[in-house]
A and B are shown apart, each in its own frame.
Chain A
């Protein structure tokens, strides 16, 4: 039988992408220098991928020798790419983690506007999920706890409240020291 045995390596993810509903890139990362070395090739691939997937909500597709799993919501498309022999369920676990993390960060408000408003936190989340093609974490709860660095009760972006809180704490400390 032709050897399709999988190489024992931690490098399992070839790419991750979040596209909008025109197929334009919001964020994308490619981890293998051998596939799509330039931004131009990457974007051509993304366009192609988007055209093949935006209508059929079919979860999985093989394209250009890559297995791509995907998921969409309102005006966002999430993709995770791996080699065509990769364990699809591993790719799926990464996709679910990406989607759930973004959803928790945006407080279930998974749409383009919200992603752009919290782009910094979404970038940090992507960085916590995959590092150079290695899955760092596939549990959305722990990813979010690592990146939602601001106090959980305070909506992301409203640092002022956090700052007030911080200064109040500091004042208390000083009054105790007196």
Chain B
């Protein structure tokens, strides 16, 4: 009776094979991975269920994880693309739980250097999740090649993985600076962003190198808005640390100010945020940044209004007088449908408002 009821419920609720999954049942089903001929149509749903169960917070013991990990490695026999990619996900998910995960190193290295482009990027990311400092040297040659690969997905995957790996093996990753340098010139927006992120991470303790990097990149006008946001942050950090760079006509400050006229809203906001948060910014220098934020206050997008009013709220602490120019816009936001925006608008007005506006 009970099982009948459950069947009926499953029929009503499509895809409910995922509801009330039991870890033990899934692990049992995962035994089909061991069958001699791999059937992707049967194995993919089982592997999906396993990953779903882990995502739901089921915890596997080291033994359970190791057993299922080894069963999963058998799936490398199949050439089915979805199954292969799900195996990569499984490797990443279990790499911290199972023992002896390095067993898949050669399979992954093969995929990473193989012809199939859809595998390569994902294989790199999976490979780096099972690699430790000593093994990284063994795959160093492939990593360097992948960073400058023509396929942007491969290049991005290698750069991102390098950054993750730099926690374990900073000295090895440091040697890849030339490749990262080359990737910064990429036409692909994400590759450029990832390359800059890695490059900065490698060089951040070397002040001279960072200044050189910034000087070069601010002139070259990066294509990626994400990379520009990153560059603004680096530049702002330089300005904050360095009093000498802070003269009235600092090229760094001019760069950030020029970004207020960028075509991407993301960059414009990043620049305005940096300017108002710099210690050295004078009231006069604040004006263009504030007028941008004022403009955002009237945006149709809630996120943009939120970002603007939150930043104005910060400015109101240090430069209340400068924010009074935006008081009218802030008053409009008091009745905003988003409560966070309304609250922020009120607290900002309390800091800037004179008696006259409180009356209204």
Contacts of B274 in A (CB 8 A): 5-6
Asked if residues B269 and A113 are in contact (CB atoms below 8 Å), the reply is no
Cα distance, A147 to B41, chains bound together (Å): 17
Q: Which of A61, A87, A115, A136 contacts B269 (CB 8 A)?
A: A87
Asked if residues A7 and B233 are in contact (CB atoms below 8 Å), the reply is yes
Residue of B nearest to A146 (CB): B153
Asked if residues B317 and A2 are in contact (CB atoms below 8 Å), the reply is yes
Asked if residues B81 and A149 are in contact (CB atoms below 8 Å), the reply is yes
Contacts of A1 in B (CB 8 A): 276-279, 281, 314, 317-318
Residue of B nearest to A4 (CB): B277
Q: Is B226 an interface residue (CB 8 A)?
A: yes
Residue of A nearest to B233 (CB): A8
Asked if residues A69 and B14 are in contact (CB atoms below 8 Å), the reply is no
Q: Is A65 an interface residue (CB 8 A)?
A: no
Interface of A, secondary structure class, is mixed
Q: Is A66 an interface residue (CB 8 A)?
A: no
Q: Is B329 an interface residue (CB 8 A)?
A: no
Contacts of A104 in B (CB 8 A): none
Contacts of B290 in A (CB 8 A): none
Say whether, besides A43-B57, A88-B307, A136-B160, A119 and B269 are in contact (CB < 8 Å).
no
Asked if residues B190 and A25 are in contact (CB atoms below 8 Å), the reply is no
Asked if residues A56 and B338 are in contact (CB atoms below 8 Å), the reply is yes
Asked if residues B197 and A120 are in contact (CB atoms below 8 Å), the reply is no
Q: Is B273 an interface residue (CB 8 A)?
A: yes
Asked if residues B337 and A89 are in contact (CB atoms below 8 Å), the reply is no
Asked if residues B163 and A28 are in contact (CB atoms below 8 Å), the reply is no
Contacting B at CB under 8 A, from A95-147, are 112-117, 119-121, 123-124, 127, 131-132, 134-139, 142, 146-147
Asked if residues B307 and A89 are in contact (CB atoms below 8 Å), the reply is yes
Cα distance, A147 to B278, chains bound together (Å): 42
Interface of B, secondary structure class, is helix
Cα distance, A59 to B303, chains bound together (Å): 7
Contacts of B229 in A (CB 8 A): 87, 90
Asked if residues B160 and A134 are in contact (CB atoms below 8 Å), the reply is yes
Q: Mark B177-197, 1 if CB is under 8 A from A, else 0.
A: 000000000000010011001
Cα distance, A56 to B306, chains bound together (Å): 15
Most buried by B among A69, A131, A139, A142: A131
Q: Is A93 an interface residue (CB 8 A)?
A: yes
Contacts of B236 in A (CB 8 A): 5-6
Q: Is B77 an interface residue (CB 8 A)?
A: no
Q: Is B55 an interface residue (CB 8 A)?
A: yes
Cα distance, A37 to B274, chains bound together (Å): 31
**Min C-beta distance of A52 to chain B, whole Å:** 9
Asked if residues A146 and B233 are in contact (CB atoms below 8 Å), the reply is no
Cα distance, A3 to B239, chains bound together (Å): 12
Q: Is A40 an interface residue (CB 8 A)?
A: yes
Cα distance, A116 to B19, chains bound together (Å): 10
**Min C-beta distance of B202 to chain A, whole Å:** 12
Asked if residues B266 and A123 are in contact (CB atoms below 8 Å), the reply is no
Contacts of A58 in B (CB 8 A): 302, 337-340
Q: Which 3 A-B pairs have the closest CB atoms?
A: A39-B57, A116-B15, A10-B197
- Beyond the given A89-B266, A123-B48, could you list 19 further A-B residue pairs with CB under 8 A, ordered by the A residue number? A3-B240, A3-B277, A5-B233, A10-B193, A10-B198, A25-B56, A39-B59, A58-B302, A58-B337, A60-B302, A87-B229, A89-B270, A116-B18, A123-B52, A131-B160, A135-B190, A146-B121, A149-B85, A150-B82
